[in-house]
Amino acid sequence: MNIIRSTRKAFSLLELMIVITIIAILASASFPAYSLVTTRAKMMKSVSNYKQILTTLNLYALDWDGSFPNKDEGGNDFGNSTLVFQTLMKETGVGADEIFYYQTNNPQKSNPPNGDGFLDPIENCVIYVKGMNSSAPANAPIVADEQTGGGAYGQFHPWLDQKKAVVGYVGGQVRPERLTTNQPGATVRGPKGSNIDNIFQPGQKDDQGRITGGLLPNYLDGNAILLPQ
């Protein structure tokens, strides 16, 4: 009788170990899919936020002869995108500090905005391209995820592993775009079929009329990209 009970106990332990192993395998297989879905959901939230930012920019342009924010009240050029967005919120009364933030990997920006209606630099994760107006090319990028400069994305970029970046354009479109790599220094590729590897550069045309460089108007340069700071 004791032998039979011991055998049954052994089989029960073996069965339990098999079940645990199967669960672990299923969990490990499903985690990447869950992580991808979560990341895409956060990305779509940024798409929605950037559309609100573009709406605010267009409301500002209506009061300023079609110009987007380029200078402060003293007539000085904006030095960072946070100052631009502070002016937007003040001039239009539209938008909240939450729309300029996403869950970044930057430890200095680990806390979401406090909702007080004033945008602090540590609450801003969006870059701005100054020097354009509502008549600029519709496919010119004007807002995007935080960069390290010159259209390049750094180690804290939350969509780097997926080779994606969210970009808003003058014409009102907002899309997750392809990055050149999933490593720091990645830049945003141009439309499929183009040879553009950084849309945040002035556009030029070669002898065959093909666009080279980037999608910014050719009267701008890299200094037009304002970081949150």
Alpha-carbon span 126 to 10, nearest angstrom: 60
Give yes or no for residue 29 having a pLDDT over 90: no
Instruction: For CA atoms 129, 132, 133, 134, give the dihedral sign.
Output: negative
Give yes or no for residue 48 having a pLDDT over 90: yes
Least confident window among 13-17, 56-60, 151-155, 159-163: 13-17
Q: Report whether 134 contacts 89 (CB < 8 A).
A: no
Segments of the chain assigned E as strands? 126-129, 141-145, 164-169, 174-178, 203-205, 211-213, 225-226
Residue-level pLDDT at 101: 94
Residues β-bridged to residue 126: 145
Give yes or no for residue 9 having a pLDDT over 70: no
Mean pLDDT of the 53-58 span: 95
- 71 CB-near residues (< 8 Å, 6+ apart): 77, 78
More confident residue, 137 or 75: 137
More confident residue, 103 or 204: 103
Q: Report whether 156 contacts 106 (CB < 8 A).
A: yes
pLDDT confidence band for 78 (50 / 70 / 90): very high
Alpha-carbon span 197 to 180, nearest angstrom: 7
Question: For all residues of the chain together, what is the average pLDDT?
Answer: 86
3-state secondary structure of 32: helix
Give yes or no for residue 32 having a pLDDT over 60: no
Residue-level pLDDT at 36: 57
Residue-level pLDDT at 83: 95
Alpha-carbon span 151 to 158, nearest angstrom: 15
Alpha-carbon span 214 to 20, nearest angstrom: 53
Give yes or no for residue 169 having a pLDDT over 50: yes
Provide φ and ψ at 178, rounded to 5°.
-80, 140
Q: Which two tokens stand for residue 165?
A: 């970046």
pLDDT confidence band for 227 (50 / 70 / 90): very high
Mean pLDDT of the 86-102 span: 89
Residue-level pLDDT at 39: 75
Residue-level pLDDT at 122: 93
The pTM (predicted TM-score) of the whole model is 0.82
Mean pLDDT of the 99-116 span: 90
Give yes or no for residue 31 having a pLDDT over 70: no
Q: Report whether 142 contacts 224 (CB < 8 A).
A: no
Residue with tokens 């630099």: 121
Q: How many CB atoms lie within 10 A of CB 211?
A: 16
Instruction: Please name the helix (run of DSSP H) or strand (run of DSSP E) that holds residue 11, with its range, or none.
Output: helix 2-63
Give yes or no for residue 86 having a pLDDT over 90: yes
